[in-house]
Structure 1
Amino acid sequence: MAIGYLIAGMSVWGFIGWLVDRRFDLGGVPIGIGAVVGAAGGIYLIVRRLGA
């Protein structure tokens, strides 16, 4: 379940970054930012869900 949060977060936010990149042609930077934001969000959800 925990790995699912990471994969889903990175996928969704990476896709949003890809859409922004296609719209504004920023050289792939939004994709990386989206993936990092998604990973951070996934980690936050894991800690919140499984942490004490």
Structure 2
Amino acid sequence: MAQQQPPPAGPDDSPKGDPWHAFGYIVAGVVLYGLVGWLLDRWLGTEFLVAIGILAGAGLGIYMTYARFNKQA
């Protein structure tokens, strides 16, 4: 008896990306830019740059996720 093979995956059936990459981009952005903001706060004697760094890191992480997973095949 012949075994039936599933049809090959078409271009729309392939996964768009690994969700862990998206998570990693966002977390890495928050950590990296939050740390830079914290260091600048310590150096300049301010108290708001860490929050700006965290928000900027999250925004850049989301942008990197969008840019990576929204590529046209």
Shift of 1:7: 0.3
Structure 2: segments with no counterpart, 5+ residues = 1-20
Q: Deviations over 1:8-41 (max 9, x none)?
A: 00000000000000001112x0000000110111
Q: TM-score, normalised by structure 2?
A: 0.67
Please say which structure displays the higher CA radius of gyration. Answer: 2
Question: Percent identity among equivalent residues?
Answer: 37
Q: 1:11 aligns with which of 31, 34, 55?
A: 31
Greater RCO structure (CA 8 Å; 6+ sep): 1
For the pair 1:26 / 2:46, whether they are aligned, the reply is yes
Q: How many residues align?
A: 51
**Distance (Å, rounded) in 1 between the aligned partners of 2:30 and 2:64:** 13
Q: After TM superposition, what 4+ stretches of structure 1 lie above 2 angstroms from structure 2?
A: none
**Distance (Å, rounded) in 2 between the aligned partners of 1:37 and 1:11:** 11
CA RMSD of aligned residues (A): 0.8
